Each structure stands twice: as structure tokens, then as C-alpha cells.
DNA sequence: CACATTCAGCACTGCGATGC
DNA sequence: GCATCGCAGTGCTGAATGTG
């Protein structure tokens, strides 16, 4: 930052932690530490104190890792429920449009156990959909990097649908454009609204169950 | 076993300081 | 004046993790 760093000591950092606790009722997580002007960069803590977990422990906090134990358990529970709801909602939407027969859920697409959330049959071209509710840019990144590997064998049209209000299509476009590991041509990250737009232009097969 | 989300760690960039 | 070094900061990847 040009200026000499303001001599961050463990005590000063503890003051910052306690201030955050007073405001939010818990310790800041690593990404949050970066956003606070009364705390140093997480990198600084990593370099000078051997990492966040270690420093929290040395400062006497009981909870030193928010990705473990009861914290992990709460997250897993929350994610499972909301993820399931998101999938159910989208499934309903897709079946309304294309009909029960033409919407496959959890379809295996290669010779491993990789599955797309949804696979749609349409005269306008078949397509795959993976849906998730990720709310932060950081999670979007880690999530996408895992998904891109998983879907490297999926060669048809593929949509990664971000189902929440945290991102606009503009945000997602920006992310896709500046991403280092580029998305394959057949794939795109889109919002629910964009998906609805795409679907509205697609043709559907007649229902074979009706006489 | 796959999944999303924690954190840590690596690679890289930018910028000032220092050295030649 | 230019090259090199070192630290701060950013972006992405990878390991660890509990649940269904």
C-alpha cells in the first residue's frame, strides 16, 4: 500500500477480532478479514502467524476452524435442504415446459458416475443443466473449478444455473470473461431468469402419453 | 461416494526500495 | 536509468470435511 505496514501484532489483531465479535457475534472468516479495514490481510496472518487457525488458537479463542465440527455440520444441513429445494423447483419448471418424459433427472452422461442434474430432450437441441445456489463469488469460483473437471466429458449444450439473487447475468458474464481456465464452448453460466429466457425460445416434443 | 463450503497454499502481479 | 528483490494483495486450486 505504499505506506509502511502499521505494525500488526497479535494483540492488535485480537482487538480487531473482538470488535468483529461485538458487531456480529462471531469471529470473522478468512474472506471477511480481507474486507475489514481494522484487520490486516489474511495473507499477512498466514505469513507471520502460521495461519488463521493457529492464530485463533494462540489468542485463546475456542473456535479455531469454521470448516469443522458443529460448523461443518450446520453448513451441510443447510446446503442439503436449500440445494434440494432449488432442484425440485427447477424440475417442476422444466417438466411443465417439456413434459415429464423429456426431462431426465440425475442422468449419467459418461462411463463414470458423473451425472447432470437435468437432461432435456427438445427438437431445438438437447441440453444439460447443473443448478446450484452458491451466493458468494469465492464459492462460485471453487465450485466452478470442480464442476468444469466433472463436466469435461459432457459435450452437448450445458448450462450452469446459479439460482439466487446474489448475481446478475452481468456479474456472471464478467466472471466468465476474466476466468483464467476458460469455459468450454458448449457451456455457459446463467441466472434462472436467463434460463427461462432460453427455454421460452425452445420447441417441445408432443406428449406421447396423450392419445 | 458426490456434493458445497471451509481454509490454506501456490502462482502471479504490482509497486516501492535497493543495488549496479 | 535499469534490473532485481521483497512484500502486499488477488485469483485460483487443492485438501479436508459432514451429510444424505
C1' of C6 to CA of A179 (Å):
28
C1' of C18 to CA of A203 (Å):
42
Q: Does one domain contain both A51 and A145?
A: no
Whether residue A158 is contained in a domain is answered as: yes
**pLDDT for res A1:** 33
**pLDDT for res A117:** 84
Tell me how many domains chain A contains.
2
Q: Does one domain contain both A192 and A115?
A: yes
- The reply to whether A145 Cβ lies less than 7 angstroms from strand C is yes
The pairing of beta strand A115-120 with beta strand A157-162: unpaired
**pLDDT for res A123:** 95
C1' of C15 to CA of A56 (Å):
20
CA distance A78 to A70: 12
- The reply to whether A181 Cβ lies less than 7 angstroms from strand C is yes
Residue A82, pLDDT > 70, answer: yes
Q: Does one domain contain both A182 and A148?
A: yes
- Concatenated DSSP letters of A26-67: SPPPHHHHHH-TTS--HHHHHHHHS-HHHHHHHTT-S---TT
CA distance A13 to A10: 5
Cβ-based neighbours of A34, under 8 Å, separated by 6 or more: A41, A42
Closest CA to A103 of A90, A113, A85: A90
Q: Does one domain contain both A98 and A145?
A: yes
C1' of C13 to CA of A146 (Å):
9
**Per-residue pLDDT tens for A94-147?**
888 998 889 888 887 776 667 788 889 999 999 988 888 777 777 777 777 778
Q: Does one domain contain both A191 and A97?
A: yes
- Render the burial of A63-86: b for 16+ CB within 10 Å, e for the rest: ebebeeeeeeeeeeeeeeeebeeb
**Per-residue pLDDT tens for A170-210?**
878 877 776 666 677 788 888 888 888 999 999 999 988 87
Whether residue A211 is contained in a domain is answered as: no
Residue of higher predicted confidence among A160 and A184: A160
Q: Does one domain contain both A111 and A178?
A: yes
Only one residue has cell 479463542, namely A61
Q: Which of residues 17-56 of A touch strand B (CB under 7 A)?
A: 29-31, 42-43, 46, 51-54
CA distance A75 to A149: 24
Q: Which nucleotides of C are covered by protein (CB under 7 A)?
A: 7-20
How does residue A7 score in pLDDT terms, banded at 50, 70 and 90?
Answer: low
Whether residue A69 is contained in a domain is answered as: no
Q: Does one domain contain both A196 and A113?
A: yes
Share of chain A above pLDDT 70, in %: 90
Whether residue A133 is contained in a domain is answered as: yes
Q: Does one domain contain both A91 and A172?
A: yes
Domain that holds residue A21: 10-58
Q: Does one domain contain both A29 and A90?
A: no
C1' of C20 to CA of A77 (Å):
9
Most confident of A18-22, A37-41, A175-179, A207-211: A18-22
Amino acid at each position: 500500500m505504499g505506506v509502511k505496514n502499521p505494525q500488526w501484532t497479535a494483540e492488535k489483531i485480537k482487538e480487531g477480532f473482538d470488535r468483529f465479535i461485538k458487531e456480529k457475534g462471531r469471529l470473522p472468516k478468512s474472506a471477511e478479514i480481507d474486507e475489514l479495514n481494522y484487520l490486516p490481510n489474511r495473507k499477512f496472518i498466514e505469513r507471520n502467524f502460521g495461519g488463521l487457525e493457529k492464530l485463533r488458537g494462540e489468542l485463546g479463542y475456542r473456535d479455531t476452524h469454521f470448516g469443522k465440527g458443529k460448523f461443518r455440520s450446520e453448513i451441510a444441513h443447510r446446503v442439503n435442504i436449500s440445494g434440494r429445494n432449488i432442484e425440485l423447483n427447477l424440475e417442476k419448471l422444466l417438466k411443465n415446459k417439456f413434459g415429464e418424459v423429456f426431462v431426465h433427472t440425475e442422468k449419467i452422461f459418461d462411463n463414470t458416475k458423473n451425472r447432470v442434474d437435468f437432461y432435456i430432450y427438445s427438437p431445438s437441441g438437447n441440453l444439460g443443466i447443473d443448478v446450484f445456489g452458491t451466493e458468494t463469488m469465492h464459492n462460485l469460483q471453487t465450485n466452478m473449478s470442480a464442476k468444469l473437471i466433472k463436466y469435461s466429458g459432457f459435450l452437448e449444450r450445458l448450462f450452469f444455473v446459479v439460482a439466487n439473487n446474489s448475481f446478475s447475468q452481468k456479474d456472471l458474464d464478467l466472471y466468465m470473461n476474466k476466468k483464467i481456465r476458460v469455459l468450454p464452448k458448449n457451456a455457459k453460466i446463467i441466472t434462472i431468469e436467463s434460463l427461462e429466457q432460453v427455454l421460452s425460445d425452445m420447441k417441445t416434443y408432443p406428449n406421447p402419453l396423450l392419445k
